[in-house]
Chains A and B, each alone.
Chain A
Amino acid sequence: MALYSEKVMDHFLNPRNVGVIEDADGVGEVGNPVCGDIMKIYLKIKDNRIEDVKFETFGCGSAIASSSMATELIKGKTIDEVMEVTNKAVVEALDGLPAHKLHCSVLAEEAIRAALKDYFDKNGIPYDPEEFREHDAEEDVPPEVLEAAEAEKAAAAASCGTKFK
């Protein structure tokens, strides 16, 4: 399918690190069923490093591919390094996502951060709350891509179904 890059299709059809870690050190869940996507990330952390990571995702092809790629990007990294992994890194590693799917990569970043925050909270590790504020898809995205996404959103919002309620 031309909608997605080969990388996206590969991570969608053969997702890495799917599953649950029963005794996870940090768990993060973002999204909701009404919007059509939920991502859950489980982290096993040892000596400040991501020893293991698993994910579960309810969502579209790019949501599953973004989760899979995100887990690959953080596995084995130190916590400081993981904090540097942004949605942009996920998009780049996937060789790009269509404009209206960029929020999937944002969700992946947020899920990882939520899992880290859970780990910090559980272990009384201090952190800067600023680092964990709700992100929006706008950040780290080239303006022309954003414009296209905005146009699509506007078109969607203008649909009769919502207006005539």
Chain B
Amino acid sequence: MKIIYADNAATTKMSRVAIDAMLPYMEEYYGNPSSLYSVGQKAKEALEQARADVAACFNAEAREIYFTGCGTEADNQAIISAARLGERKGKKHIISTAFEHHAVLHTLDKLKKEGFDITLLDVHSNGIVTAEEVAAAIRPDTCLVTVMYANNEIGTIQPIKEIGAVCKEKGVLFHTDAVQAAGHLHIDVKDQNIDMLSISAHKFYGPKGVGALYARKGIILTNVIEGGAQERGKRGGTENVAEIVSMAAALKDACAHIDEYAEKETKLRDRLIAGLDKIPYGELNGDRVHRVPNNANFCFEGIEGESMLLMLDDKGIMCSSGSACTSGSLDPSHVLLAIGRPHEVAHGSLRLSINEQFTEEDIDYIIASVTEVVQYLRDMSPFWRDLVNGKRPHVFSE
């Protein structure tokens, strides 16, 4: 059976480059980077090279990069740091969006309990917030704006440079969760007015469990993990040298191919979207143009996402859904609700995230399989029957 991994937004398969890069730091240079003897110093050198390499990918300086245990940790640390800096000046208002990753939302939730005022901006039906809306929400006591670069479910890209410019003008720190963007889109922290940025290696063909936080020099970070003097005292714990080196190698490789891969992926993605568009009473989630090159996300009326996933898995296709049943929660994806999808439609969502190695045949196989599965499940769905018979109103057009 054909096996197609179409869940690259969840995580990616490590590239050869990334795997090869890490092995020497497990087999040979396994020393602690804080040790003075040679295996330790070799590790230290690699660590600092990795820092310089990661920085170069974003037009940042090496000392502005802090390695973390994952993207979630980087998000936590960025937000907590801005909050601590803000509250010292009596500024306890934070602006974000309703469709951030839980790494951001739950951190904000924690700050809210501490007495911070949180504004979550509404997201337009195309999955985008505007710089004007951010500007309008900024108050004298605003200490942070945090808006994701690209959404992990629907792939929409936010106007980062414009939002950054607004924040800069008003003197408010700007953080962006760039976990879905790094290695896939060109990022320049200076040009785009970004003060802090989070990345995670496993989204760009690097290993899981390692990430990084860029914090513009001058921003004093607050520790999320207390301990030794690693990461200039801002993140305790012996550095995960092998994975950090691997992340840097993966990022460098991905950034060197951004245009080439984006061109290939965009063509394939648009072929996929065009194919799935033909399924009646389904709709693409998120803007058609301002979206990462590898993401297609649809809602189909009358069926439920988890059953789609399981049937597709049976056909060798791995992907994901924002239905309540796949999240184990009672509500469907907060992202789909944020762009205004009603619950009954949000339950029937499907996210396919490809990579540049996909072929047109793969895409056509996915289109054919999804079309078949949607039809099959609709045929046994009393909800679909009601829609067809006019007993319940359709949300989408044919």
Knowing A156-B331, A159-B329, A161-B337, say if A59 contacts B102 (CB, 8 Å).
no
Q: Name the distance in Å between B384's Cβ and chain A's nearest Cβ.
A: 7
Tell me if A13 and B105 are in contact (CB < 8 A).
Answer: no
Whether B385 is near chain A, meaning CB under 8 Å from some CB there, is yes
Set A37, A152, A164: member contacting B304, Cβ < 8 A:
A37
Q: Are B304 and A34 in contact (CB under 8 A)?
A: no
Task: Give 1 or 0 for each of A63-78: 1 = CB within 8 Å of chain B CB.
Answer: 1100000000000000
Question: B307: shortest Cβ distance to chain A, in Å?
Answer: 5
Assess the A163–B382 pair: CB atoms within 8 A.
no
Return chain B residues, CB-CB under 8 Å to A64.
307, 380
Query: When the two chains form their complex, are residues A38 and B307 in contact, meaning their CB atoms are under 8 A apart?
Result: no
- Bound together, the chains give a CA A116 to CA B380 distance in angstroms of 21
Given A33-B343, A163-B109, CB of A58 within 8 Å of CB of B304 = yes
Cβ of A143 within 8 Å of any chain B Cβ, yes or no, is no
Q: A1-B313, A156-B328 are in contact. Are A57 and B344 (CB under 8 A)?
A: no
Beta-carbon contact of A162 and B304 below 8 Å: no
Q: Which residue of A lies closest to B107 (CB)?
A: A160
Whether the Cβ atoms of A38 and B331 lie closer than 8 Å is no
Q: Quick one: given A160-B106, A161-B98, are A33 and B307 in contact (CB under 8 Å)?
A: no
Question: Does A13 contact B314, Cβ atoms closer than 8 Å?
Answer: yes
Cβ A164 vs Cβ B118 within 8 A: yes
| Number of residues of chain A lying within 8 A (CB) of chain B | 39
Distance in angstroms between the alpha carbons of A24 and B359 in the assembled complex: 49
Chain A positions within 8 Å of B392 at CB level: 33
Contact of B328 among A18, A62, A152 (CB under 8 A): A152
Cβ proximity bits B350-384 to A, threshold 8 Å, 1 near / 0 not: 00000000000000000000000000000011111
Residues in B neighbouring A63, C-beta threshold 8 A: 304, 307
B347 at interface by CB-CB < 8 Å = yes
When C-beta atoms are compared, the residue in chain B nearest to A12 turns out to be: B310
Is A40 located at the chain interface by the 8 A CB criterion? yes
How many Å lie between the Cα of A152 and that of B302 in the bound state?
A: 26
Cβ of B348 to closest chain A Cβ, rounded Å: 9
Q: Are B106 and A60 in contact (CB under 8 A)?
A: no
B274 to chain A, nearest CB (A): 27
Is A157 among interface residues, defined by CB-CB distance under 8 A?
Answer: yes
Q: Is A29 in contact with chain B by the CB < 8 A criterion?
A: yes
How far is B311's CA from A56's CA once the two chains are assembled, in angstroms? 17
Answer yes or no: B196 CB below 8 A from chain A CBs.
no
The chain A residue sitting closest to B314, CB to CB, is A13
**CB-based contact A156/B383 at 8 Å:** no
The answer to whether A153 has its CB under 8 Å from any CB of chain B is yes
Among B120, B305, B382, contact of A164 (Cβ-Cβ < 8 Å): B120
| The one of B118, B328, B343 that contacts A36, using a Cβ cutoff of 8 Å | B343
Judged by a CB distance under 8 angstroms, whether A96 is at the interface is no
Pair B329/A61 contact, Cβ less than 8 Å: no
Show 23 A/B contacts (Cβ-Cβ < 8 Å), sorted by A. Answer: A13-B314, A33-B344, A35-B324, A35-B343, A36-B324, A36-B332, A36-B344, A36-B347, A37-B304, A56-B380, A56-B382, A58-B303, A59-B304, A60-B306, A62-B325, A155-B329, A156-B327, A160-B108, A161-B98, A161-B334, A161-B337, A162-B331, A164-B112
Interface positions of B (Cβ within 8 A of A): 98, 102, 105-106, 108-109, 112, 118, 120, 302-307, 310-311, 313-314, 323-332, 334, 337-338, 342-344, 347, 380-385, 392
Beyond contacts A12-B307, A58-B303, A152-B328: 18 other A-B pairs, Cβ-Cβ < 8 A, are A33-B343, A33-B344, A33-B347, A35-B324, A35-B343, A36-B323, A36-B332, A40-B382, A56-B381, A56-B382, A57-B381, A57-B382, A58-B381, A60-B304, A155-B329, A159-B102, A161-B105, A161-B337
